[in-house]
């Protein structure tokens, strides 16, 4: 006799990184920079500044500083912002969110300004329960405070929630908070030195739904 299928046990809430886990911001940065190589260098410098500053400094200012640091003209960050609403969801992103919507509360925790973060979140056509930007939180990820603030607004404990990351740097924050994490490592980034491994890592979102459907909150 075939064994019965295990019960579907969703987390109470799923939080997402926005600009790398759900939206293809890499292509937008590359186009604004003029090439993939320049875009990657610019993005790497931006990430270095962002993850090093902790307390919030205007997102747009960090983007401009990073561009200047790698030798890009002022027109690069200007083009990035002008094309912001052209951000495209990764394949499977909308489908994943639609599948989760009846079962989980959904939120975004993003390293972005309020203005640009909310515009980006709206591109996914989801009725978000919370959109938490680093500007509103007052700190950039991976500081634990943005993740905790989002969970507090949802009235959900970390053990009852999951996080879908797009950057390995999120793993510093999610491990500190106690959030089980799926890393959608689309562009094959290396795990940052000292970061804890994600519970599941994949170059696509294809395994995220089965992982979330089998979610079991750890016993205290």
Element (H, E) at 110: strand 105-110
- The DSSP secondary-structure symbol of 92 reads T
With a CB cutoff of 8 Å and minimum separation 6, the contacts of 219 are none
CATH 3.40.50.1000 fits 13-24+87-213, yes or no: yes
Q: Which residue has the tokens 């609403």?
A: 85
110 backbone dihedrals φ, ψ, rounded to 5°: -130, 140
CA separation for the pair 53, 49 (Å, rounded): 6
pLDDT score for 53: 84
CATH 3.40.50.1000 placement within the chain: 13-24+87-213
Q: Average pLDDT of 63-71?
A: 97
- Find, among 59, 94, 95, the residue nearest to 77 by Cα: 59
Q: Which helix (H) or strand (E) holds 34?
A: none
Q: Is residue 33 scored above 60 in pLDDT?
A: yes
Instruction: Report the share of the chain in percent with pLDDT over 70.
Output: 95
DSSP labels, 11-31: -SEEEE-STTTTB-HHHHHHH
The Cα 98–Cα 53 span in angstroms is 35
Residue 219, pLDDT score: 40
Farthest CA pair distance, the chain: 67
User: pLDDT tens digit string along 71-84?
Assistant: 999 999 999 999 99
DSSP 156: -
Mean pLDDT for 94-123 is 97
Q: How far is CA 200 from CA 155, 168, 188, in A?
A: 25, 12, 14
Distances (CA, A) of 57 to 63, 111, 136, 219: 10, 11, 11, 38
What's the CA gap between 47 and 169, in Å, rounded? Answer: 9
pLDDT tens digits for range 163-195:
999 999 999 999 999 999 999 999 998 999 999
- How many Cβ atoms are within 10 Å of 177's Cβ, its own excluded? 20
State residue 81's pLDDT score: 97
Q: What is the pLDDT of residues 129-159, one digit of tens each?
A: 999 999 999 999 999 999 999 999 999 999 9
């Amino acid at each position: 006799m075939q064994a019965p299928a295990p019960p579907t046990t969703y987390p109470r809430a799923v939080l997402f990184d926005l600009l790398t886990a759900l939206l293809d911001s890499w292509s937008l940065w590359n186009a604004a920079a003029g090439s993939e190589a320049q875009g990657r260098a610019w993005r790497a410098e931006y990430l270095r500044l962002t993850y090093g500053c902790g307390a919030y400094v205007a997102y747009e200012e960090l983007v401009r500083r990073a561009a200047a640091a790698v030798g890009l003209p002022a027109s690069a960050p200007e083009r990035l912002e002008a094309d912001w609403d052209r951000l495209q969801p990764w394949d499977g992103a909308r489908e994943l969110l639609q599948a989760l919507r009846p079962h989980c509360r959904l939120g975004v925790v993003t390293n972005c300004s309020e203005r640009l973060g909310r515009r980006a979140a709206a591109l996914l056509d989801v009725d978000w329960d919370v959109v938490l930007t680093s500007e509103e939180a007052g700190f950039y990820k991976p500081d634990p405070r943005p993740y905790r603030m989002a969970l507090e607004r949802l009235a959900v404990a970390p053990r009852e929630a999951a996080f879908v990351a797009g950057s390995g740097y999120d793993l510093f924050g999610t491990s500190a908070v106690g959030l089980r994490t799926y890393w959608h490592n689309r562009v094959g980034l290396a795990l940052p030195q000292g970061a804890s491994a994600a519970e599941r890592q994949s170059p696509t979102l294809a395994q995220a739904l089965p992982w979330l459907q089998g979610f079991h909150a750890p016993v205290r």
